[in-house]
Structure 1
Amino acid sequence: MIREATAEDDSSEGPLLRLILSGPGDPPALPAGSTASFAASSNSQGAIIVRANATGASLGDMGGHRHLILVPESTERGTDWSIFEETQSLPAPAWLSPGDADALLSQATDESASLIESMGYKTDKIPNPRLTVGTLADFYDTPGLPSSVPSRSAKLFARADRVAAIIETVTDRIGDHSLDPQLFRLWRHVRAARIAGVDYALMDFAR
C-alpha cells in the first residue's frame, strides 16, 4: 500500500518519510483532534508520516498530496502498526538544520551536566555524576545505524542520547525530582534533534 501510494513522489518536496515525536507540552505535528493525532499522543513511540500521491489505490481521486500516518504499538508479539489516511493540511515542521539542532543540544548538555554537579550530588548511589552520564550514554548509543547514515545525523543522535542519559541520571538513578521542570524541558530538544537527524539522513539518501 505504501509503495503504491508513494510511486509518484517528487523528492524536491522534501523527505518522503518524516518522524513525529511528542511529549508533555509538545503535541505531535498532526491535525489537532484527528484520530491519528490521538493515537500518536497515546503512545511513547511517536509516528511516521508518509507523503502519498493522490492516485494511490486507496487514496481516491482528489488532487494534491495526502499523508499516511503510521503509528506503532508494542505488543507481546512485537510491534503492530496502525495506518491512518490524513487529508487535512499538516502543521509545518520545524525543519531544523543539523547545525541548529546540534547547537541547541550542545548547550542543553552543558547546562544540564553543570546543573547536576552544582547541586552537589555525591552519594553512594551516584558517586560520580559525569561517569554515570557517560555510562548511560553508552547504553543509549545506537550501534545499529546503517553505515550509510551521514555523520551529521549520527552526531545528532549521539548528542540526543547523552542528554537523555543526563535526565535519567538525575530522575531515575538519583531519584531526585526537584529538578523535573528544568530537566524535562530538555526532552523537547532531544526529540527535535532526533527528528532533524532523520530528516537530514533521508534527504541525503534521496540525493
Structure 2
Amino acid sequence: MTDPVPTWLGAQLWSPVQNTSLWLAWWLHGLIGADEVIDAFHATQGKHHRLESDGGGLVELLGQVRAVTDEAAIGVNERPLIQLMLSGPGDAPLLPVGTEGASLIVADRDPLVSHVLSPKFIDAHLVSWSWDQIEGATPPLPVYSPGEADQLLREAADRATAMVKSAGHVPRGAAAFQRAELAVGALDDAFGLPGMPPGVPSRAAKLMARADQVAAIVEVTRRSEVGASLDPHLMPMLRAVRTARMVAVDYAQRELLR
C-alpha cells in the first residue's frame, strides 16, 4: 500500500498558481464559462479571495482581468493574455513589484502596460491578491520550447543526482530519489482536484508533470538528514522546474491560436 503524500510535499508538487493561470487564460479565450473558472479558483486556491486594492472578491478580480485584457492583441507572436512568472532563491528580480514566488502577468490593450497579480495565502481558506500596474516592456520569459525545457529538467536532475551520490549522501537501497517517485505516484489519489482545464496540449501537460517529479526529488532530498547541505546542488533543479512551468503555460496558450 502506498503511503499518503505528506502535506509539505503536496504543497511543493502541486502548483496552484500555475494551474490557475491556465484556467484564467482558458476563460479569457472563451473556452470555459465563468462558473467553471470560479469553481477552479475555489478548488485550487481556496474558497475566499480578496482583492487588496478595493476589497472586492473573486468576481471583482475576474471582472478587472476581463476589462484590462479587452482588445489586447491576440496572436501566436503576441504576448499571452496571462503569463506565469515564477522566481526563487538565486534568481535575479524579474519584476519591479511583487515578492519572491509566483505572479500572474495580465496583458493590457497597451503593449507597454502590464498588470501583475500576486497571491498571498493568508490561511487555508483566504487568498489576498495584490494588483500592480507596470509600464514598459514585459520581462522576457525563458525562451525555450517544451522539448528544450524538458531537457533542462533532465540535465539538472542528472547533475544533482550525480553530485549528491558522489558526496556519499544517498545510501544504497534508501535513495531519496526513489522515495520521491513513490510520492509522485500517489499524487492523483491525494488531490482529486481539477488540475488543468480541458484541452491543454499534451506536451505542456507532460512538461508540468516532469516538473512535479523533479520538484518531488528536491523536496524529499531536502527533508533528509543532510538536506540543508545539499542546497547548492538542488537549487539549479528548482530553477529548471520554474522554467519548465513558465514555458508550459506560455506554450499551452500559443497552441490555442494555431
Match runs of 1:108-147 below 5 Å: 108-118=156-166, 119=168, 121-122=170-171, 127-138=174-185, 144-147=195-198
- Percent identical pairs in the alignment equals 35
2:118 maps to which of 48, 71, 77: 71
State how far apart, in whole Å, the 1-side matches of 2:182 and 2:93 are. Answer: 31
State how far apart, in whole Å, the 1-side matches of 2:253 and 2:142 are. Answer: 16
Q: Is the 8 A contact 1:52 1:68 kept in 2?
A: yes
Q: Which residue of 2 aligns with 1:23?
A: 88
Q: Is the 8 A contact 1:8 1:53 kept in 2?
A: yes
Match runs of 1:32-111 below 5 Å: 34=96, 36=97, 39-41=98-100, 44=101, 46-54=102-110, 64-76=111-123, 77-111=125-159
Mind listing any 5+ residue stretches in structure 1 that lack a counterpart? 55-63
Q: Is the 8 A contact 1:116 1:170 kept in 2?
A: no
Q: Aligned residue pairs: how many?
A: 187
Mind listing any 5+ residue stretches in structure 2 that lack a counterpart? 1-63
Q: Which TM-score applies when normalising by structure 1? A: 0.79
**Helix, strand or coil for the counterpart of 1:2?**
helix
Spell out, residue by residue over 1:40-86, the C-alpha distance to the aligned partner (whole angstroms, 9 max, x if none): 33xx3x100011014xxxxxxxxx54111001010133211111111
Q: Is the 8 A contact 2:115 2:133 kept in 1?
A: yes
Which deviates more, 12-21 or 108-117?
Answer: 108-117
Q: Is the 8 A contact 1:112 1:166 kept in 2?
A: no
Q: Is the 8 A contact 1:49 1:68 kept in 2?
A: yes
RMSD of aligned residue pairs (Cα, Å) = 2.4
- Structure number with the bigger relative contact order (C-alpha 8 A, sep ≥ 6) is 2
**Helix, strand or coil for the counterpart of 2:224?**
helix
2:67 is the counterpart of 1:4: yes
Q: Which TM-score applies when normalising by structure 2? A: 0.65
